[in-house]
Structure 1
Amino acid sequence: MESGKAQIDCPEPSVIPRVSNADKISLRDIARERVDIVSEKMHNLPDEFLQELKNDLRVILDGANGSQHRDEFFILKKLVQNRSNLTAKTLIRAHRVQLEILVAINTAIQGFLHPSTSLSRTALIEMLVYKRCINMACQNQLPPINCTCEKCVNDNGFCNLCMCMICSKFDFEVNTCRWIGCDFCSHWTHTDCAIVEQLICMGVCTKNGAGPSEMVFRCQSCNRTSELLGWVKDVFQYCAASWDGEALIRELDFVSRVFHGSTDPQGRKLFCKCDDLKEKLKSAKVDSKAAYTEILMFFQGKSFLVYLNCRYTQYFCEYTLK
């Protein structure tokens, strides 16, 4: 007790280690400086500072500050991609956070900076040198050993299991009409990319040989065609039950755009049915459950089955006559 006041014991505040300007490193340092030099500096820096570096990169990848962040990201990416000294041998000496930042810059994927990311150092190194798929849900070894197409052989980092043949990007919109798979070589293509590149058109399905013209997809990998009517039927039959109204409208819109130029009777019927259901859903005349049931009834209807039976009967007869 001094001066009539009581002293109250308070816990000491946590002390964050201070980092001198000489010891600090920047994202640009990580992107351009030698791996071993940056790694040594990072081992002497507190974890709080390293996490702040990752947060700074997350903000840049978000692009919230418009052109300034975009310009900074392009500078960082150019610095990384122009380097010839990022090899499996040199990257062994890298700090883990250093690897995470380099991969995030090279791929523009924020997930590599998330605290819960549990990728091994080996996986991060292989992603940087294009020996492993950068899709964390895939991580397939590259280049694919089961494919010798030009895309798989020549495009560093391309994965035939999860990436689009046109744009080389992946996403998590699987089990939807937004991806089309080739029936023969199992490569995948975004539906939007296929439409833009005019890979969806009227033609004859390779698997069925000579037959009536229908809407088909031509694969850029093997140049063979896959029919699209059965593809849409399978997607709706096995995946659409969990879609809400908005998701169903989006998927119906994809199908409408795929079959917009169809001239065969069943393709035109599917196009009209999708447009009709979209309008009913938007005006709340039907709910998603009723719309889902209606599209399934379309595929299971007598006209659809008769169409398929006639088509395959024609194929069989033509093949037998040959």
Structure 2
Amino acid sequence: MTRNSTENYEYSVGRDDQIWCGGEGTNGSVHSRFRPIGDGIVALNNNNHGGGGSVMQGNRATNKDSCNNSLYKTTSSDNLSFFPSELPARPRLDACSGDSRRRDSENLRGLESGDGEGRAKKLSRPGRILREIVSQTIPVMAQNIQEVAEETLESTKEYLKNLIAMPEKRDELVGLQNLLERRSDLTKETLLKCQKDQLEILVAVKMGHGSFVSGKVRLPTNELVEIFLFLRCRNLNCKNILPVDDCDCKFCSGNKGFCSSCMCPVCMNFDCASNTCSWVGCDVCSHWCHAACGIQRNLIRPGPSLKGPSGTSEMQFHCIGCNHASEMFGFVKDVFVCCAKDWGLETLIKELDCVAKIFKGSQDFKGKELNTKAEDLLSKLERNMLSSKDACNAIIQFFNCKFSDYELLLFLCN
């Protein structure tokens, strides 16, 4: 009750949200639980991105006398692909001699230091290390990461967080995700053998969410593996085992990683806000949807009244999961009666705008009047003709009015 619907949170709201008593038309159903809106898209497509030299495979040779501290020119064969099926064969670490492993470790530290000139320094960039982690086999990288300096690993995580957060870097992120998609070795058995930082980076890349490498929340290895394999919700404040409640609807069964508790089936994003009319749910199967997405897809539309007289209509949300129609008036009423007093002006305006859009196409009396009331209050608020407190009281009074009396009053006034 203390959070506004427009507050931004790094993570979405969890399953412990307040369950409100059902209002008109809800009968204590899932509609009386107010859910959030947010973002976070996992970008996956089939774009190919070229690879580069391996960060973890040692320095290039230099000749100070003949090359004036410059590097030898590399041939096309030096540009190794990062796809696992095309990587050059490498001996198993446990089969290497102590001397060879020591040389590998020294080469790795040399690349991290960035003390060299030219190409060696270029290969030490966090982007190169990140690509190496994504493309190399689990055992090799688990061993190599243990040799990486802590500050280097942290800079790589920071690079990944920025990569995810910056829209202009989307192509690079998609390229890394494509590398993961091409790999067939990332099974539960092999992922459980990952070094913890390695696994967090792999999950962050695949899910497209920097929260997994933020350091604020560190999940157990088994949960990270389940998220990577789409067996658990990637929302850190949800983390439901998927599918939720063993749902076998066509949508849950046909979309890997979809969580009906916190994800919109239209845009596939999960949420970062609460106590809002902009996140609506099904009375029966508990699937939720953004109001804006529902309006766009015509999932929110007039339908035959569920409780009113035969032949009347009401505004309803039609669930993608089970095709059940849930009425909207009682849901919106619950949200405003329980939450509106805690909203500021900006939030109140956004919620009234959402309600006006939801009920814009209403054919029934209550829906039409609610649309008119919301638009009238919006207009007065935007022209500073009404305070947010007075507008809040007005809309709550509207919802608390018995509509048989309200209709009679309108008739007498006209």
When normalised by structure 1's length, the TM-score is 0.84
- Match of 1:108? 208
- Match of 1:38? 141
The 8 Å contact of residues 251 and 320 in structure 2, kept in 1 or not, is answered as no
1:222–1:305 distance in 2 versus 1, CA, 3 Å: farther
- Match of 2:28? none
1:283–1:304 distance in 2 versus 1, CA, 3 Å: farther
Equivalent residue runs for 1:74-85 within 5 Å: 74-85=174-185
* Cα deviation 1:259-315 (Å, max 9, x = unaligned): 1111211111101111111122222222222211110000112436667xxxxxxxx
* Residue identity matched to 2:394: E
Measure the CA separation in 2 of the matches of 1:141 and 1:305. 48
Residue among 176, 179, 183 paired with 2:283: 183
Equivalent residue runs for 1:64-83 within 5 Å: 67=168, 69-83=169-183
- Match of 1:320? none
Greater RCO structure (CA 8 Å; 6+ sep): 2
Q: CA deviation at 1:174?
A: 2.6
Residue among 387, 392, 397 paired with 1:292: 392
* Residue identity matched to 2:146: H
- Match of 1:51? 154
The 8 Å contact of residues 242 and 259 in structure 2, kept in 1 or not, is answered as yes
When normalised by structure 2's length, the TM-score is 0.66
Matched residue pairs, number?
287
Measure the CA separation in 1 of the matches of 2:184 and 2:308. 49
Measure the CA separation in 1 of the matches of 2:354 and 2:237. 25
1:209–1:265 distance in 2 versus 1, CA, 3 Å: closer
Q: CA deviation at 1:205?
A: 4.3
1:168–1:206 distance in 2 versus 1, CA, 3 Å: farther
Measure the CA separation in 2 of the matches of 1:162 and 1:242. 23
The 8 Å contact of residues 282 and 326 in structure 2, kept in 1 or not, is answered as yes
Measure the CA separation in 2 of the matches of 1:305 and 1:160. 39
Measure the CA separation in 1 of the matches of 2:309 and 2:285. 17
1:218–1:37 distance in 2 versus 1, CA, 3 Å: same
Residue among 16, 21, 27 paired with 2:130: 27
Measure the CA separation in 2 of the matches of 1:233 and 1:99. 45
Q: CA deviation at 1:206?
A: 4.9
* Cα deviation 1:51-87 (Å, max 9, x = unaligned): 0100111111121xx53x1221111111122322211
1:39–1:294 distance in 2 versus 1, CA, 3 Å: same
Equivalent residue runs for 1:262-273 within 5 Å: 262-273=362-373
* Residue identity matched to 1:19: R
- Match of 1:313? none
Q: CA deviation at 1:169?
A: 1.5
Measure the CA separation in 1 of the matches of 2:141 and 2:206. 17
Identity in percent: 38
Unmatched 5+ stretches in structure 1: 1-17, 308-322
Measure the CA separation in 2 of the matches of 1:209 and 1:83. 59
Residue among 333, 336, 342 paired with 1:233: 333
3-state DSSP class of the match of 2:336? Answer: helix
* Cα deviation 1:11-39 (Å, max 9, x = unaligned): xxxxxxx9312896611111221111111
Q: CA deviation at 1:214?
A: 1.3
